[in-house]
Structure 1
Amino acid sequence: MHFYLATSFIFPRSLRLRLFTLCFVATHLPLLGYSSWGLATGRIALTEFILLTLMTLFGTAIALIGIGALLNPIHALAETLNRREEAALPKMGDVIQTLYAGVHRAASTAQAQIDDLHVAAHEDTLTGIANRRGFLAQITALPRDQRRGCVAIIDIDHFKQVNDQLGHDEGDRVLAAFADRLSAQLRRVDRVARWGGEEFVIFFHGAAEDEACWSLSRIAAQMRSDPIGRIHGRPISFSAGVCRWGGDAVDGAMSAADTALYEAKQSGRDRICRAATAAQMV
């Protein structure tokens, strides 16, 4: 490292040219030594001088070409790592392969950690579906012409009683089962996420209010016929608020859907309410 830093003034931006320069100087030292001795003693022989010069130049050319060829794998590996690809190298066990293996391992580990952080930031660990951040990232990433549809906020009725009377483990199981039930009943183009606590959110892609409400009613009916759990002997149910969304800022539609959810809960729960017409996002 000390020699590397000490020679950095020679072509500081190109290791290849620096190596070429050092190689050129080193291979010409015998010729310079012979020339200096001949001039000092007056015993230089022209034929020997010409032959030594030609052989020095020939050796220099071979050394430069060889160094250039040996450096090519390093440049190729750097480009491969930048593209996050894996190069196929013959197993030679030399320093280049050792360097590549170490750097590639470090890069792969770093990328895996980045991927894990991205998943942790956008996925709910309990239910395996998107969390609030993941949901917002998904729908905002959609092209502008594919954002139209309906949003629904869903709340599991009396969920606090599930935790208080049946325990938090049962509460976690109910949340996971409810997420599975929603995911299984929706289309591939729809998006579902855990909004927080016992609240979930759905984006019904391209759906009108009637279609979104019908889909939720079908899920509610299935919750009664095939319960994911019971509280006080009755199947666990949910309430929902639905609002049309036209693709602009989703905050307004979510707020209107939340207001409709509040109305559903105030009206006795286990029901689906639509947002007021004035709040609809056309």
Structure 2
Amino acid sequence: MQFYLATSFIFPRSLRLRLFAVCFVATHLPLLCYIGWGAATGRLALAEVVTLTLATVAGTGLALYGIGALLTPIHALADTLNAQPGDSAPLPRVGDVIQNLYAGVQRAAVLTRAQIDDLAVAAHEDPLTGVANRRGFLAGIEALPAGQRKGCVALIDIDFFKQVNDLMGHDEGDRVLAAFADRLASQVRRADLVARWGGEEFAIFFCNSVEEEASWALARIAEQVRREPIGRVNGRIISFSAGLSRWSGGPVEEALAAADGALYDAKQAGRDRVCRAGASLSATCP
């Protein structure tokens, strides 16, 4: 490619003429050396020079024809790569064969990169709610710089969610999940991370927050859910229970396990409340 670009000033609109120029110079080097030697020694024979010149010109033409034939499959590949889906014919060429091929390879690389990015997003995003899934949550935690690897983690469970599915159908259950995820995402800071942990469980990472701040944020969300319900089942407002634990930068799994224990205590205490895990991993509920 570097040689191709370096010789682009020679017949820039015609690859065949450029190939002819390169082949002509390359094949005539021996002849030029012979002419120089003959002129220096006085042994130059005009008939021999003319014969050799005609022979090298013919050889150059033959080489050019062979190269053109060898490039024909590349030409066809360039047309294929330049064709858009649904086109009845390939796009007009914007340059010579190599330019078309290079442009086609670049286009294929861009499409492949876009497909890889789409797969990466799909692997880390919950398709129903649009927030991160468990894998995306943990990947987001792992990607944090050292200065932000602390705060609080919360595990949240929608109360009596099974009744929503059983009594109102799975479509309503999906709507409740999506609405709840949207409510959580809209009520936390941009630095925080919301994820669907699985089923009706969600997780939140409160970046650089102490337990009092994170607990207050969850209580504020709970109060808003009571004032502006995302739905009702059996006449009861759909609420949530939450377990909260601080995280000081060690293995996040330990903080998640503590939050899960606090969530269990919140359910046992009657649901619709937030419990915090203490230093001994036993939960304290307000």
Structures share a fold, TM > 0.5? yes
Which residue in 2 is equivalent to 1:235?
237
- Structure 2 CA distance for aligned equivalents of residues 165 and 207 of structure 1: 39
CA deviations 1:228-261 (Å, max 9, x no partner) are 0001111100000000000111000000000000
Which one-letter code corresponds to 2:144 in the other structure? L
- Structure 2 CA distance for aligned equivalents of residues 27 and 192 of structure 1: 72
Q: Cα distance, 1:205 vs. partner?
A: 0.9
Q: 2:187 aligns with which of 179, 185, 188?
A: 185
Which residue in 1 is equivalent to 2:270?
268
CA contact (8 A) 1:157 1:270 kept: yes
- Structure 1 CA distance for aligned equivalents of residues 45 and 28 of structure 2: 20
Over the matched positions of the two proteins, sequence identity in percent amounts to 65
CA deviations 1:179-221 (Å, max 9, x no partner) are 1100111011111111111100001111111111111011001
Which residue in 2 is equivalent to 1:65?
none
- Structure 2 CA distance for aligned equivalents of residues 134 and 97 of structure 1: 40
Which residue in 1 is equivalent to 2:203?
201
Which residue in 2 is equivalent to 1:170?
172
Which residue in 1 is equivalent to 2:128?
126
How high is the TM-score relative to the length of structure 2? 0.70
CA deviations 1:75-95 (Å, max 9, x no partner) are xxxxxxxxxxxxxxxx73321
**Runs of at least 4 residues off by over 4 Å:** 19-25
Which residue in 2 is equivalent to 1:45?
45
Which residue in 2 is equivalent to 1:137?
139
Which residue in 2 is equivalent to 1:250?
252
- Structure 2 CA distance for aligned equivalents of residues 44 and 203 of structure 1: 89
Q: Cα distance, 1:148 vs. partner?
A: 1.2
- Correspondence 1:103-122 to 2 at 5 A: 103-122=105-124
- Structure 1 CA distance for aligned equivalents of residues 24 and 110 of structure 2: 35
- Given the superposition, is the C-alpha separation of residues 23 and 264 from structure 1 closer, same or farther in structure 2, using an over 3 Å criterion? farther
- Structure 2 CA distance for aligned equivalents of residues 94 and 22 of structure 1: 18
CA contact (8 A) 1:145 1:247 kept: no
Q: Cα distance, 1:47 vs. partner?
A: 9.1
CA deviations 1:38-64 (Å, max 9, x no partner) are xxxxx97259749x88xx8xxx9xxxx
1:26 aligns with 2:27: yes
1:153 aligns with 2:128: no
CA contact (8 A) 1:253 1:279 kept: no
How many residues were matched structurally?
224
- Structure 1 CA distance for aligned equivalents of residues 236 and 188 of structure 2: 25
Q: Cα distance, 1:267 vs. partner?
A: 1.1
Which one-letter code corresponds to 1:215 in the other structure? A
Which one-letter code corresponds to 1:244 in the other structure? R
2:245 is paired with a residue whose SS is strand
- Structure 2 CA distance for aligned equivalents of residues 254 and 23 of structure 1: 74
CA contact (8 A) 2:261 2:281 kept: no
Which one-letter code corresponds to 1:26 in the other structure? T
Q: Which runs of 5+ in 2 are unaligned?
A: 5-18, 36-42, 61-92
Which residue in 2 is equivalent to 1:67?
none
CA deviations 1:10-48 (Å, max 9, x no partner) are xxxx987xx99966653458x49x99xxxxxxx972597
Which one-letter code corresponds to 2:132 in the other structure? A
Q: Cα distance, 1:108 vs. partner?
A: 1.4
- Structure 2 CA distance for aligned equivalents of residues 116 and 125 of structure 1: 12
Q: Cα distance, 1:227 vs. partner?
A: 0.3
- Given the superposition, is the C-alpha separation of residues 26 and 151 from structure 1 closer, same or farther in structure 2, using an over 3 Å criterion? same
How high is the TM-score relative to the length of structure 1? 0.70
1:154 is paired with a residue whose SS is strand
- Given the superposition, is the C-alpha separation of residues 23 and 198 from structure 1 closer, same or farther in structure 2, using an over 3 Å criterion? farther
- Given the superposition, is the C-alpha separation of residues 145 and 44 from structure 1 closer, same or farther in structure 2, using an over 3 Å criterion? closer
Which one-letter code corresponds to 1:274 in the other structure? R
Which one-letter code corresponds to 1:206 in the other structure? N
Which one-letter code corresponds to 1:263 in the other structure? D
Which one-letter code corresponds to 2:263 in the other structure? L
